[in-house]
Amino acid sequence: MKHRQKKSPVWKVIVFIFFVIVFAMVLVRLNKEREMRARVEQRARELADAAAQASAEYAEASERSRMAGSDDYVEEIARESLGMVMPGETVFVTKEE
């Protein structure tokens, strides 16, 4: 009669521990990838906001550039920045508290 040798329970424990370690490594890797994806998505939102702001600033600069040579723009700058008035206009100064 041949006796079948039973596998030792040690092998079962070793195989179980191996699979637990592999499973833990996969979970750690998935968690790191999730965190990285969240950082990438956050950075993408920040860059989209910066691009929108840059686009608005470019549109404003383009509009100012277009208006720069017009008489209305020159008059606006002279009045607001330099405090100039047109001939014949009267300036009233009020006391501010």
CA 52-43-57 angle, to 5 degrees, is 20
What average pLDDT does this structure show over 12-26?
A: 95
> Phi and psi (nearest 5°) for 64?
-65, -40
- Listed in sequence order, the DSSP H helices in the chain are 9-67, 71-80
Say what angle helices 9-67 and 71-80 make with each other, to 10 degrees: 100
pTM of the model: 0.50
Residue 71: C-alpha distances to residues 29, 74, 82, 83, 88 (Å)? 65, 5, 15, 16, 18
Does residue 1 carry a pLDDT above 60?
no
Does residue 5 carry a pLDDT above 70?
no
What is the rounded CA–CA span in Å between residue 72 and residue 13? 87
Question: In percent, how much of the chain has pLDDT > 70?
Answer: 92
User: In the prediction, which pLDDT does 28 show?
Assistant: 97
What average pLDDT does this structure show over 24-31?
A: 97
User: In the prediction, which pLDDT does 97 show?
Assistant: 64
Mean pLDDT of the residues in the chain? 87
